[in-house]
Amino acid sequence: MSKKDFSKFYNQHFNKIYRFVFFRVGAKRELAEDLTSAIFIKALEHFEDFDEEKSRSAWIFTIAHNHLVNYFRDNAKKKEISIDEMAENLETSAEEVVGFNRPELLVDGLKTILQNDTQRELLLILSKLSEDKQQLVTFKYLLGYNYAEIAEILKMTETAVKVATHRAMKELKESIKK
C-alpha cells in the first residue's frame, strides 16, 4: 500500500477517531491528541498487514477501541481504583470512569464537557436509552460515521442500522417530550 493510500485513509478516519477519543477521555484535548497520535502510529505500522477485503473503518476503530481499553486499564492501575469504586463514581465523576469497560459508550465522557442545558438534558436522556441505541446515535450523530461504516463496525446490515438508528432517534424524541 502506498503513502497515498495511507493519506486517504488518514483523511477519511482522523476526525471520527479523534472525536471518539476526545469524548472518551472527558474532553481533555491534550490527552485526546496524545492517544490519537498513538492510534495512528499503530495503524501506520500495521498498514501493510491490513487485509484489503476487510473494512478499514472497523479496523481503525478496533485499534482505537483496544488502545483506549489498555489506556484506561493501565491508568486505573496507576490510580489504584477498583472496578467497584469506579462504578460508585459513575454518577458523580464521569471523568474517572469513562471508557473503563465499554469505550464505545460515550455519554459519560460527554457529561463533563457540557455547558449548555439543552445539550446536557439531551445527553441525560440519551444515556437512559439502551446501550445499543446510545451507540447508534453516538456513531451517527456525534462521531460522524455513515450508515455503511456503522454497519461494518457493528457487524450489522446497513438496512438494520438505518432502521435501528431511526427507532433510537424516535425514542429520544419521545423521551424529551415527556
Yes or no: say if 52 and 46 are a contact pair by the CB < 8 Å rule.
no
Using CB under 8 A as the binding rule, whether residue 36 contacts other proteins is answered as yes
Q: Which DSSP symbol is given to 155?
A: T
Q: Which DSSP symbol is given to 129?
A: S
Applying CB under 8 A, the span of 52-60, 78-86, 127-135, 169-177 interacting with other proteins comes to 169-177
Tell me the closest approach of the beta carbon of residue 44 to other proteins, in angstroms. 6
Using CB under 8 A as the binding rule, whether residue 141 contacts other proteins is answered as yes
Q: Which is nearer to other proteins, 81 or 114 (CB)?
A: 114
Q: Which long-range contacts (CB under 8 A, 24 or more apart) does 58-64 make?
A: 58/152, 58/153, 58/155, 60/9, 60/13, 60/17, 61/17, 61/20, 61/153, 63/39, 64/17, 64/20, 64/21, 64/39, 64/103
Please pick, from the candidates 49, 52, 84, 118, the single residue that binds other proteins as defined by CB under 8 A: 118
Using CB under 8 A as the binding rule, whether residue 116 contacts other proteins is answered as yes
Q: Which is nearer to other proteins, 47 or 102 (CB)?
A: 47
Q: How far apart are the first and last CA of the chain?
A: 53
Summarize as ranges the residues that interact with other proteins (CB under 8 A): 2-4, 6-7, 10, 14-15, 18-19, 22-23, 27, 32-34, 36-38, 40-41, 44-45, 48, 110, 113-114, 116, 118-119, 122-123, 137, 141-144, 169-170, 172-173, 176
